Amino acid sequence: MTDITRDDLRAAVGAGAMTEAQAASLIALAEEREGVRARRSGLDEPFELFKGFNEVFIVVGLSILFAGWMGATGLSVFTATSGYILGMLFSLVAMGVVILLARYFTITRRMVAPSIALAVMFGLSALQFGLSFAAMMDQLFLASWTVAAGFSGVLLCLYYLLFRVPFTVALIAASVVVLTFGLVTMGGTVPEEVQDIFLLSADGPFAIITIVLGFIGLAIAMAFDMSDPHRVTRRAASGFWLHVMAAPAIVNTVALTLFQNPDAGAQLALVAFIAVMALFAIIIDRRSFLVSGVGYVVALSISVVEGEGAFFGILLLGAGMVLLGAQWERMRSAIMCVLPPFPGKNRLPPWATKEALA
């Protein structure tokens, strides 16, 4: 495909194929994308919570404003003193105000931290609307939170379609998890302990549900990543937040189950599993899977090796992580060059060739 130059755009404007404003916007977008690639240089996966302290200042103001609104209207995700009709009304007003604020801070100003804060506030307002609706239907505690999670998930999907705030997908994923577990618990199955959610050996379907939801989240995250391998759009950022949600669900379910087994074979299997997850994290250029498994390696070192030997193993682990972080690009390039072609390899983030590494 031939690269389009500025002269081509000028010719298109002269021929009436596009306006000058459209041509200027296209040039600005191309320069922005090129600038992102140049700054990134393949060294890191992009991650941004705020662009400056002014965004933090605005988030503090938005948080105080939202807390004041919740207090003045008697709303809370745990208690509501205004009644369910007023609760739904106040929640709708809150969501409407958040949308108006998002039109300014997210669309006009393109601020990161205020956009995340507003997405959280919209999610809390949607959750409150669901709780008020469940109260009107005279639902019990578990059913109320299940209904609220359903409302929250649907409304957050609409919010994401409106504003494309990447962090919203993490809130949607959390709503799906709460909704799924709520439906199961309404059937009479309740986990005895929190760790039963991740233990495949525990009674109940919770661990299976957790790992299935984790793989579904991973599949959607990979779809986001492969649609933007250079990671210059919000699709890649959305994929990042889904990886953050999916990685612990997958790694914790398998690793905790293996860690609970004292047999040497299970411990070796745990080490092998963490190694496979680390390799997978390097291939897809996402560090979330590697970070999720580090805690188990530390815990395994302490439980298997006693005394100073455990801390020596932790020392080596820390040094290895620092080295991996410093040489991530070179190590990933070497691995990707050795791996044979596989479906989707050319849609992963670019890596250097063997000649570039030499």
d(CA 222, CA 175): 20
Q: What is the mean pLDDT of residues 123-138?
A: 84
User: What's the pLDDT score for residue 167?
Assistant: 93
Q: In the block, which residue shows the tokens 């009304």?
A: 89
Q: What is the mean pLDDT of residues 185-196?
A: 73
Q: In the block, which residue shows the tokens 């391998």?
A: 229
* Residues 143-156 pLDDT 10s: 778 888 898 999 99
Q: Residue 257 — pLDDT band, cuts 50, 70, 90?
A: confident
What would the two tokens of residue 296 be? 């188990």
- Cβ atoms 125, 91 nearer than 8 A: yes
User: What's the pLDDT score for residue 39?
Assistant: 47
Instruction: Please check the confidence at residue 200 and state whether its pLDDT lies above 80.
Output: no
* Residues 268-327 pLDDT 10s: 888 888 888 888 988 988 888 788 777 766 766 666 555 555 667 677 777 878 888 788
CA separation, residue 22 to residues 12, 307, 312 (Å): 10, 67, 60
Q: What is the mean pLDDT of residues 152-181?
A: 93
| Predicted model pTM | 0.79
DSSP state at residue 284: H
For 324, the enclosing helix (H) or strand (E) is helix 308-326
- Phi and psi, residue 55, nearest 5°: -65, -40
Each domain of the chain, given as residue ranges in start order, spans 1-38
d(CA 119, CA 96): 12
Collapsing DSSP to helix, strand or coil, 93 comes out as helix
d(CA 260, CA 296): 11
What's the CA angle centered on 294, arms 293 and 295, to 5 degrees? 95
Q: In the block, which residue shows the tokens 């021929």?
A: 15
Instruction: Please check the confidence at residue 186 and state whether its pLDDT lies above 90.
Output: no
76-80, 250-254, 287-291: which is most confident: 250-254
Q: Residue 1 — pLDDT band, cuts 50, 70, 90?
A: very low
- Cβ atoms 336, 350 nearer than 8 A: no
Average pLDDT value for the chain: 80
d(CA 10, CA 220): 39
- Cβ atoms 153, 201 nearer than 8 A: no
Instruction: Please check the confidence at residue 42 and state whether its pLDDT lies above 60.
Output: no
What's the CA angle centered on 175, arms 198 and 70, to 5 degrees? 125
Instruction: Please check the confidence at residue 76 and state whether its pLDDT lies above 70.
Output: no
Q: What is the mean pLDDT of residues 236-251?
A: 88
CA separation, residue 180 to residues 173, 188, 190, 207, 289 (Å): 11, 13, 12, 12, 23
User: What's the pLDDT score for residue 97?
Assistant: 93
* Residues 12-27 pLDDT 10s: 766 777 776 666 666 6
Instruction: Please check the confidence at residue 94 and state whether its pLDDT lies above 80.
Output: yes
User: What's the pLDDT score for residue 10?
Assistant: 66
